[in-house]
Amino acid sequence: MIAGIDEAGKGPVLGPMCVAGLLLDEKKLDALARIGVRDSKLLSARRREVLAGQIKNISDKYYVLEVSPAQIDGLRKVMTMNEIMVACYVKVLEELRPDHAYVDAADVIAARFGENITKRYSGKINITSEHEADKKYPVVSAASILAKVQRDALVKQIGKTIGSDIGSGYPSDPKTIHFLEEWIREKGSLPDFARSSWETAKRLVEKNKKIQKTFSEY
C-alpha cells in the first residue's frame, strides 16, 4: 500500500493548517489519473470539491489532520516549524500505515525532511520526499486536494461565525490584512484564530499600539 501526504495552510497568519494523507493500492493510481487529479493550486475551488469526493471513494483510507493556530503557536515555543511539519506528517502516517509514502517536502532540503520522518515513525517505511511532489505524483496531488478543500471549508466557517470576510488568511492577502487591522483596532488584541507567533501578527499588534499611543498624546 502507498500513501501520499501534503499540507495546506503552513504559511497563513489566520486559520488552521491541514495535513492530508491518502492510502491506496498502487493499482488504483490509474483511477486517480482518470478523474483528472493534479496539484490543487492548479484547480478551481469547485473542481477541487468535486475531486475530493471522488478521491475519498477511490482511496482505501484517508486522514486529514487539523492543526489549530493555538497548537501551532504552542509548538513553536519548543520546536521549529520544520520540526512541527515532520511531527504532523508522522502523525498522519501513523494513521495510515503504508509501506511506501510519497510526501511533499516541507523543508528546503527535501531528503532531510524524509529522513527525519523515517526516524520518528514507529514502523518500517520507505519515504520518497521531494519538492513539488504534488505536481509529480498523483497520490500526493490527491492529498493536496483533500488538504486544501478541508482548510478552505474551515476558513469559510470562521468567516461565517464572526460575520466577516477574513480573506484567505495569508499575509499576502490584502483582505486578510485589512480584517486583522480592523479587528485589532476594535478589540485591542488578535482573534483566537490568528497565529500570534507570526511576524505579521506581531507587527500589526505593535502598529496598533503605536497608533493608540499617538492618539493618547493629543
Q: 103 pairs with which residues across the strands?
A: 5, 129
Residue ranges, comma separated, of all CATH 3.30.420.10 domains in the chain are 2-159
Fold designation for 2-159: Nucleotidyltransferase; domain 5 (3.30.420)
Q: Which CATH number, 3.40.50.2300, 3.40.50.300, 1.10.10.10, 1.10.10.460, labels domain 161-211?
A: 1.10.10.460
Task: Provide the whole-model pTM.
Answer: 0.94
| pLDDT reported for residue 204 | 96
Q: What is the pLDDT along the chain (218 residues), one digit of tens a residue?
A: 999 999 999 999 999 999 999 999 999 999 999 999 988 888 999 999 999 999 999 999 999 999 999 999 999 999 999 999 999 999 999 999 999 999 999 999 999 999 999 999 999 999 999 999 999 999 999 999 999 999 999 999 999 999 999 999 999 999 999 999 999 999 999 999 999 999 999 999 998 887 766 655 55
| pLDDT reported for residue 34 | 93
Q: Are 152 and 47 in contact (CB under 8 A)?
A: no
Residue ranges, comma separated, of all CATH 1.10.10.460 domains in the chain are 161-211
| pLDDT reported for residue 216 | 56
| pLDDT reported for residue 70 | 97
